Amino acid sequence: MYRRHDRDPSADTEPGNQIDQNSPHPTPARPVKIDAPIIALSIGAALLAGFLIGWFALGYYSNNVEELPSLYDENQVQHIFKNASRAVVEIRTIVQSGRRVGEGSGSGFFIDNEGHIITNNHVVDGATTVNVRLYDGQVIPAQTLGSSPQDDLALIKIDPSSVGDLTSLPLAESKSVKVGQLAIAIGSPFFNLNSISVGVVSGIGRSRPSNPGQRGGSRPIPNMVQTDAALNPGNSGGPLLNSSGEVIGVNSSVQVQSGMQIGVGFAIPSDTVINLLDELKVPIVYQRPWIGFAGDDIEDILLNRSRIGAEAGIYVRGVCSRSPASLGGLRGDPVSLTTNLITGRGDIINGIDGNPVLTMSDLVLVLNDYEPGDSISLAVVRNGQPKNLTITLGPWRSDCMYINQ
C-alpha cells in the first residue's frame, strides 16, 4: 500500500552522505511562497527583545550571560555522552556497480556485546564493503546481516574480539516516550566522529515514508519519534537517546522545505527495533506484507471530500496491477491518480479482521502482525454499503503499475 502526499509541499530526505533525494510530494496547485527562515528570525528577534525588556524592568538583567537559565542539565548531558559515545560508530561504505564506485557514510550503535550494530537500511543498502570506525578511531570491517527496507533498518556485525572494551546501548520502550522530554542525538554528521546535538521530543506517533521519492510509492513507517535535535547528513542510523541514556529511536530522516532543513527530524521507534531483532539477525532481506494500493486518510483530504461520503477511513485512489488488492477485488477511484480529482467511486477501507483501520498508520501497524501469505478480511465501504474482501497478502513490492477500474 502506498500513501500519496498531494497536499503537503514538504519532503523527507534521509540524512546519509550518499543520498540526495528529492521531494516525493507534487507541488500544490496554488503554491504560496513563504520565507520561513526570515519569518522565524523576525519573530525570534521580537520575542528576544521583549524578554530582555522584561528582565530590565524586573531588575534581573545581568552582564553575566552565565546567569541565564540553561535549557538542560549540562552535567547530565555530558555524563550521557561520555557513556553512550563509546557505543556509537561511524559507518563507511563502498558501493560498486560495474566500473562505477561510490562512497557513503552514516552512523550506528552496538546493541549487545556480540558485535551487533543497528543502523539504517539506506546507509548500507547495496554496499559491497562496510567498515566501522569506533570512538577511538579504530577502523574494523563489518558484514551486513539482515535488513528490513520497509522499516529502513539493518543489522551489521563486527568480530567482538577485535574490540577491547565493547560498550552497548540499552533499548527503551518508545511507546513510553513523551513530548517535551530530553532528546540527544549522537552520530557522525559530515564525517565528524561522535558529534552530539541536544533537543526535545517535539512529536510522537508520526508517519513518514520508508523510502521517500521511490517510484511506485513508499511504505509508511508508523510511530516515528519527532525531534528538534539537529540531524545532518551522516547522522542516519545513530541513536536518539532519552535522559537515562537509553535508545528511544534510530535517527533516519529530516524534513526539508524549499531545499532547506527546517529543524524537524524523525527517528524510527525503538519498539520497532526490538520487535525486528530476531529477523535482522538472519542474513536475509525481511519483507513486510503488501496489499498493493494507493490511498489517503480521509481526514486529510480537503478537495472534494464531500463526495466520499465518510468522515474517517482510507480512501482508495488506485490499485496495483496483479496485486493482492486487485486479485481480492479492491476498487480504486478511476480518475483520482491521474487528475487528483475525487469521484467518490473508490472503496473506503475501515478495518482488518475486526480491527478498526482509519488511517494508513493504523493499516501498517495492523499489517505488521502478519506475514506475506497470510489471508485477511478487509472491511470496506463501497457505494455506501459495507463489504468484506478476502485478501492474501504478498511480499512488499515497489514496482507498482496502477490499473484503471
Largest CA distance in the chain: 74
Locate all alpha helices (DSSP H) within 348-400, ordered by sequence.
Answer: 360-367
Question: 236, 122 in Cβ contact below 8 A?
Answer: yes
Q: Which candidate in 147, 168, 218, 236 is catalytic?
A: 236
- Is 122 catalytic? The answer is yes
Q: Which candidate in 6, 122, 207, 362 is catalytic?
A: 122
- Is 116 catalytic? The answer is no
Q: Which residue has the cell 542516519?
A: 236
- Is 300 catalytic? The answer is no
Closest listed residue to residue 262, CA positions, set 12, 74, 30: 12
**DSSP character string of 329-351:** T----TTHHHH----S-S-EEEE
Q: Which candidate in 152, 271, 297, 362 is catalytic?
A: 152
Closest listed residue to residue 151, CA positions, set 88, 87, 222, 91: 222
How far are the Cα atoms of 173, 185, 242, 244 from residue 79, in angstroms, in the given order? 21, 14, 12, 10
Question: 120, 252 in Cβ contact below 8 A?
Answer: yes
Grid cell for residue 109: 550503535
Residue type, 116: H
Catalytic residues: 122, 152, 236
